[in-house]
Amino acid sequence: MKKHTRPNPSKNIKGGILEKEGPVHVSNVMLVCPGCGKPTRVGHTELPDGSRVRSCRRCDTTFEN
Ligand SMILES: [Zn+2]
């Protein structure tokens, strides 16, 4: 599973673009959906048993974990 995100700019960053892992909440991370193969927003789907899972908003594939 690959995650890729960009941190919020902070005062110490002068310029240019650095890509590195940052303390970003998991809900803000774009991930590549295994269902549709594209970076996608993650939504939450409530299952019939009441548990909530993350899911692709494009194709409704659910992500375990
Ligand atoms: Zn998808």
Tell me, what's the pLDDT at 47?
87
Place of tokens 């193969």: 37
Kindly state the average pLDDT of the residues 38-64. 87
Q: How confident is the model at residue 21 (pLDDT cuts 50, 70, 90)?
A: low
pTM above 0.85, yes or no: no
| Distance of CA 35 from the midpoint of ligand 1 (Å) | 4
| Distance of CA 57 from the midpoint of ligand 1 (Å) | 6
Kindly state the average pLDDT of the residues 55-65. 84
| Distance of CA 2 from the midpoint of ligand 1 (Å) | 14
Backbone angles phi, psi at 27, to 5 degrees: -70, -15
| Distance of CA 44 from the midpoint of ligand 1 (Å) | 13
Residues 22-45 have pLDDT tens digits of 665 655 556 788 889 888 888 888
User: CA 33, CA 58: separation in Å to the nearest integer?
Assistant: 9
Residue with more model confidence, 49 or 8: 49
Beta bridge partners of 3: 31
DSSP 15: S
